[in-house]
Amino acid sequence: MGSKFKEILKLSASLTILILLLFSYSCSPTGMLATGGSTAMVVAEGDRSFGTVVDDATIKVNIAAKFLNAGNNLFVDINTTVLEGRVLLTGLVDNQEVRIDAVRLVWEIEGIAEVVNEIEVGNRESIKDYANDLWINTQARGVAAKTIGLRSVAYNFETINGKVYIAGITSKPEQLDTLIDGLKTIKGVKEIINYVIVKE
């Protein structure tokens, strides 16, 4: 009885996440959304085809389901960004085994072209550290909106222990340089790690 109940709970959680992700997808400002963990990435029109966005959203749903079923708080502790089959993993986990297991689970999903593993082992030492990362992330979004305007929605930001990870797709490298210069002015930023795809 106990194991059946757990199976039903896992299935219910998976279906709820799937419905929420699909609902978020349909309600995005441009009609194109890839969500994950605690963040959402809206992709500006013209940077990706609609089919690619749908494929990426499907990959994200599959990763979410894998992480939910695996336990170890993978779904809560790890954020995913998917761009044209490339998966960026960020977050904090307790040990190296959990980090490796997360990558293994992602590679089991069809359609993955590359996995970039930026998961860190350790923990935030205090609530202050976590709040600082949230503050930096908020500032990063504000700087992006101020420096590049509406196209800032094409970028996703994650901050872990003062390191800012930026992902997205752009056809304007000079715009990306302006954005990175702006991010460097944010107090508390230790490093900027750039995973933006520049397309011709």
One-character DSSP codes across 65-109: HHHHHH-TTHHHHEEEEEETTEEEEEEEESSHHHHHHHHHHHHTS
Confidence (pLDDT) at 51: 64
For residue 146, what are the CA distances in angstroms to 56, 60, 173, 194? 28, 29, 17, 19
Q: Which residues of the chain fall short of a pLDDT of 70?
A: 1-53, 124, 126
Q: Estimate the crossing angle of helix 173-183 against helix 127-148, to 10 degrees.
A: 140
Structure tokens at 113: 């072209």
Domain ranges of the chain: 2-121, 127-198
Return mean pLDDT, the chain: 77
Confidence (pLDDT) at 56: 85
pTM greater than the 0.85 cutoff: no
CA torsion angle for 51, 54, 59, 64 (degrees, to 10)?
Answer: 170
Confidence (pLDDT) at 49: 61
User: Which helix or strand (DSSP H or E) is residue 150 part of?
Assistant: none
Confidence (pLDDT) at 105: 92
Look up the CATH architecture of domain 127-198: 2-Layer Sandwich (3.30)
Confidence (pLDDT) at 43: 41
* CA 38, chain centre distance (Å): 8
Confidence (pLDDT) at 15: 52
Confidence (pLDDT) at 4: 52
Burial class for 26, CB neighbours closer than 10 Å (0-12, 13-18, 19+): exposed
Residue 15 to residue 61: CA distance in whole angstroms: 10
